[in-house]
Amino acid sequence: MTTVLLVRHGLTATTGHVLTGWTPGIPLDDRGQAQAAALAARLAALPLDAIVSSPLERCQQTAAAIAATRDGQQVITEDRVGECRYGDWTGQPLKKLAREQLWRVVQAHPSAVTFPGPGGESMPDMQYRAVAAIRDWNARLGKDATYLICSHGDVIKAIVADSLGLHLDQYQRIQADPCSLTVIRYTPLRPFLVRMNDRGGGVDDLMPRADGHARGRGTAPSDAAVGGGSGGADPGESANGRPDIDTDRVNGVGSIPAGAAATSGQPPADTRG
């Protein structure tokens, strides 16, 4: 399974007040720098095959803080995970934009939205190029890779919606706070959303396993945990919450022993960039 860590950039002076978009020269403020440093420390033990970033300064700085703990690992710029191109909305106060008729469409039917003005992008186009970037990097780095992408709130939400099979009109149900961590594992059959909007968890469950990257012993990586699984608390359970089942038994050589199946044990969205 390829594991993708999606990190939203840290706070800037305009975050939550102005729709910054592709405005140049918007760095992390002191709060954002502290967030990036804290996240870098939290991820320091986790090997990363690549650190990929939006070209915008706030993402580059966040990604650079993570790379700085990794003996010279470089940040790779990927335009396709850059911010949505908001056209004439770029640089406008969010309070002003909330009075626009298009705001309600953004909230309820983002699949119908194309932002006005020269260079304004449609939200489906934004999702398409971001998900295409994920798929390309998955193929480039391989099925056992763990890598990080630093991007933007709306872009991360669109990637998560795709991973869950949600229509884009449902993506405002998803939240991606500044410097939050979202983790998706991609298998041949389906993606698994492992974490979303995490702002403080450890990384033990993301570490590669001795018997192969985040896999059970011979089980199909695309299998879901029936009953929900133990969340990795059971040492005999794989990273998806599936029990490690002998595939010979599953294929008919023997019977599956009893108990082999896993047992069970936000505010309205805005466009903030």
pLDDT confidence bin for 232, thresholds 50/70/90: low
Contacts of 45 (CB under 8 A, 6+ apart): 203, 207
Tell me: the pLDDT tens digits for 99-120? 999 999 999 999 999 999 999 9
Q: What is the predicted pLDDT for the residue at 207?
A: 84
Read off the pTM. Answer: 0.79
pLDDT, mean of residues 236-257? 42
> What percentage of the chain reaches a pLDDT higher than 90?
70
Closest CA to 4 of 148, 181, 192, 143: 148
Closest CA to 81 of 54, 107, 106: 54
Flag whether pLDDT at 166 surpasses 70: yes
Q: What is the predicted pLDDT for the residue at 264?
A: 34
Q: Average pLDDT over the chain, rounded to whole?
A: 84
Q: State in Å, rounded, how far the first CA of the chain is from the last one.
A: 29
Q: What is the predicted pLDDT for the residue at 96?
A: 92
The partner residues of 93 in beta bridges, in order of sequence, read 18
What is the DSSP-derived secondary structure letter of residue 173? G
What is the DSSP-derived secondary structure letter of residue 155? H
What's the distance, CA 182 to chain centroid? 4
Q: What is the predicted pLDDT for the residue at 50?
A: 98
Question: Distance between CA 115 and CA 83 in Å, rounded?
Answer: 13
What would the two tokens of residue 158 be? 């669109």
Contacts of 131 (CB under 8 A, 6+ apart): 158, 159, 162
pLDDT, mean of residues 82-97? 95
What would the two tokens of residue 202 be? 């450890």
Q: What is the predicted pLDDT for the residue at 205?
A: 76
Q: What distances in angstroms separate CA 46 from CA 63, 69, 70, 181, 218, one per listed residue? A: 15, 11, 10, 13, 24
What is the DSSP-derived secondary structure letter of residue 192? E
Q: What is the predicted pLDDT for the residue at 220?
A: 62
Tell me: the pLDDT tens digits for 10-32? 999 999 989 999 999 999 999 99
